[in-house]
Amino acid sequence: MLEKIFKKFNPFAQCKKYQIPIWECPSFLFVLMGFIIVCVILLTYFISVLKINEPEIVSLIVLGTAVILFVIDYIVMESFEKIYQANRIKTEFISIASHQLKTPLTNFKFCLETMMSDDLAKIPEKQIGYLNILKENTKRMIDLVKNLLVVSKIETKGISLKKENVSLKEITQIIILDFKLFAEASNIKIKFNAEKNLPLIFADCYWLKEIIKILLENAIQYSSVKGEVEIKIYSKNEKIYFKIQDTGVGIPAEEQKNIFQKFFRAKNILRHQTQGNGLDLFVAKQILKLMKGKIWFKSPATAPLSRASSDKMADKPARIGYAKGVAGGKENRGTTFYFCLPISKQNE
């Protein structure tokens, strides 16, 4: 019996079970609330002794206060535990469903590619169009499943990084080369500028590439025709800064606070680009956080900011978890994303 009670209110076991910090754990909060309740009971007792002369009434007041507070505490903590348990089940379901979908989708994509690799002259033009639609939608589904798996690993703290000393400049140049055809097809010009002799950073090479791909793809997709994407890399205060500026649709001021939330897509983006799952920026922020980095953005105010003031703002990142944009963000004026990572100790 005692073992069961101890297991029920053991904060460390529950924290491990729900994969949450101890200060968010229901059993820890229950113990904390219990301590507060004891303090309130003692305070009630001393006040009652000073104001009431009859000991029986004082005892009843203290006892009644204690019972009410403990009942409220227990109800609140049980509700918290049910919420965390539901969230854990949801995360596990997404992880299992994503794993189950990954293999058949990959096989389906392979079959489509095999069909389309044959002599297309034998396939009617109308059917070729259908196959291209299927291929594009399959790719979108695979990307969604991939992102859902990543989100699941992030939420359960199951993602592991292979950090090493890497050159942000070299990685960015490789990504720009990969996106060259996409940018040309979109009639977008990419400008790249990096300081000379930039120090290395200590980061996961794979995820660093994925983050740059996310930012560059978004910048190209949401830029206006004959637009421009400018990338700049520089170092300051023991950190390497990455800046990517586009001439796109911008981000409305009232929606800026939600940019790094899961599944969020701004309303003006939906008018220009219906595809997307709203997970990329959430993943980018969480991965950068694990690499001790930060990500933020700005969307211009009514008057365009000068290059000097733009770079000055880059040295003042918002805290992790908050997407800070310039007050009064306007649409169709472009957006600038920044992230920074600490310089590798190998450079010292």
Q: What is the mean pLDDT of each run of 10 residues along the chain (348 residues)?
A: 58 60 66 77 76 73 77 73 69 69 77 71 74 81 81 77 91 94 91 92 92 92 86 92 89 85 76 70 91 88 38 42 38 81 75
Please report the pLDDT score of residue 174 as a whole number: 94
The full set of domain ranges for the chain reads 1-159, 164-347
Confidence (pLDDT) at 4 = 59
Look-up of token digits 């800026």: 256
Q: What is the pLDDT of residue 304?
A: 37
CA atoms of 247 and 216, how far apart (whole Å): 12
Q: Write the Ramachandran bin of 192: left for phi over 0, alpha for psi from -120 to 50, otherwise beta.
A: beta
- Model-level pTM? 0.64
The pLDDT assigned to 317 comes to 45
User: Is the sign of the CA dihedral 152, 158, 162, 163 positive or negative?
Assistant: positive
The answer to whether the CB of 300 falls within 8 A of the CB of 250 is yes
CATH 3.90.1300.10 fits 164-347, yes or no: no
Cα gap 241→231, rounded to integer Å: 11
Res 120: pLDDT: 58
